[in-house]
Structure 1
Amino acid sequence: MSEKFNFANFFGMESDKPKNEDAKPVNNVVPLTRKDLATVSSNIVVFEPTNYTDVDTIAEKLLDDNAVIIKLDKLDIKSAERMVDFLNGVLFAIHGNINRLDKNIFICSPKNFKVTK
């Protein structure tokens, strides 16, 4: 048992074959590609909901990384409050923001948008 224990051989990381000094190393790295941020289009969609059930469509636009301007003039106060509350929850989940533009106009934006005043 004069032979030295080699962990690399034990786990199959090193072969018993003699190394060829002239051989080029094999590149086993596979590059991961991601979308180029310059090609991603940013959209702003304007909604003027007439009832609370329109909130689903607005939420889907936000989940698709679109900013949304909402005019709440055609909604009653209770429905408008519920809609803003629901959209606040959606925006919290996607790390977005909501800003008031006017008395009944809001802009909801996902995290890749920046709204400055």
Structure 2
Amino acid sequence: MGVYNKFMNLIGLNEEEEVIERERIVEQTEDAEPPAQEQRKNKNNIVSIHSQKNVRVVLHEPRSYEETQEIADHLRSRRPVVVNLHRVRSDQATRIVDFLSGTVYALNGSISKIGPNIFLCTPDTVEIHGSISEILTSQEQQP
């Protein structure tokens, strides 16, 4: 009971049943409205445009498979990475792309080929729209 209700009961101006009924109504309205923190949690799909002021795109040109972990760390830090695989052998490039594909999948990101042996790996906070594969195939066919 609130202090006001106790005082009114002491004087005899309120009946006990009225007070109990009012408290039940107040408790029901408090239970019906979720706290502001829970409302914020439910809106986690909405991201402020200004939440990441300086988004860095990392350019990486690995020379061996061992450097792939560093690329994955950038992705885990939510930084998009452009990976140039021109300096590695084709079997190493395949292993690197496989590893990065698994990393991107685990992070709900995406990976796109943007050129011959060049890939763009992005975390879930960055979306890739469009495709340049049509332009590449037409340029490769022309001598």
Alignment TM-score, normalising by the size of structure 2: 0.58
**Greater RCO between the two (CA within 8 Å, min separation 6)?**
1
Superposition CA RMSD, Å: 3.0
Match of 1:66 in 2: 79
Question: Residue by residue, what CA displacement relative to the aligned partner does 1:25-76 show, whole Å, maximum 9, x if unpaired?
Answer: xxxx975489955131322100000100110110000000000000000011
Number of residue pairs the alignment of both structures matches? 98
Which ranges of structure 2 fall in alignment gaps of 5 or more residues?
A: 8-33, 42-46, 131-143
Question: Quick check: 1:51 aligned with 2:64?
Answer: yes
- Bigger Rg, which one: 2
Give the % identical residues: 25
Q: Deviations over 1:55-100 (max 9, x none)?
A: 0110000000000000000011111101100111111111000000
Aligned to 1:19: 5
Q: For residues 113 and 19 of structure 1, do their structure 2 counterparts lie closer, same or farther at Cα, with a shift above 3 Å needed?
A: same
Which consecutive residues of structure 1, in runs of 5 or more, have no partner in the other structure? Answer: 1-14, 22-28
Structure having the larger proportion of residues in strand: 1
Structure 1 moving runs of 4+ over 4 Å: 29-37
Structure-2 change in CA distance of 1:20 and 1:38 (3 Å): farther
Q: Which has the higher helix share?
A: 2
